[in-house]
């Protein structure tokens, strides 16, 4: 049985605390370049084939998720991104391996604060902060279903 921390009606594992670090690696395919971000947008299609900022953000989120999943009651508990503030300082062509290094630096209830950076083996390509929020998947899905129903009713 896991020791838990009581937070606003939710129990979080005590192991979910600042200092959790994770490194995640990924070889950038052509499908994660700028033209692939919104293939229906001509403006994107004609842009250079380099790692897209949108996919970079997703990669950093992925690393944060992998860092904390062992410290959640996954998949019942999950986390969603609620804020991102990162640079994108260097272009990365397909075929290069990118490495994200993330660290959980603060826990405030179910709100999690990360320091994040990414490197492509040649350049530091990104650095900044990311925030995530721990959710109960079933409750979250129910609220989204209600939002969808409310939208259809209007």
Answer for the pair 98, 55: CB distance below 8 angstroms, yes or no: no
Catalytic residue of the set 61, 77, 117, 131: 61
Catalytic residue of the set 15, 53, 101, 103: 53
CA distances in angstroms from 20 to 8, 43, 104, listed in the order given: 23, 39, 5
| 88 is an active site residue | yes
| 61 is an active site residue | yes
Answer for the pair 77, 136: CB distance below 8 angstroms, yes or no: yes
| 53 is an active site residue | yes
Catalytic residue of the set 88, 92, 119, 131: 88
Active site residues: 53, 61, 88
């Amino acid at each position: 049985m896991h020791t838990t921390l009581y937070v606003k009606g939710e129990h979080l594992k005590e192991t979910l605390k600042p200092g959790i670090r994770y490194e995640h690696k990924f070889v950038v395919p052509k499908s994660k370049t700028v033209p692939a971000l919104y293939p229906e947008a001509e403006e994107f299609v004609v842009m250079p084939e380099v790692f897209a900022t949108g996919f970079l953000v997703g990669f950093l989120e992925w690393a944060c998720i992998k860092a904390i999943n062992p410290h959640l009651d996954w998949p019942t508990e999950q986390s969603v991104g609620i804020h991102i503030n990162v640079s994108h300082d260097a272009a990365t062509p397909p075929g290069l391996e990118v490495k994200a290094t993330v660290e959980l630096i603060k826990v405030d209830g179910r709100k999690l604060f990360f320091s994040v950076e990414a490197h492509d083996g040649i350049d530091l390509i990104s650095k900044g902060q990311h925030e995530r929020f721990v959710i109960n998947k079933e409750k979250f899905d129910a609220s989204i279903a209600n939002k969808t129903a409310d939208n259809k009713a209007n």
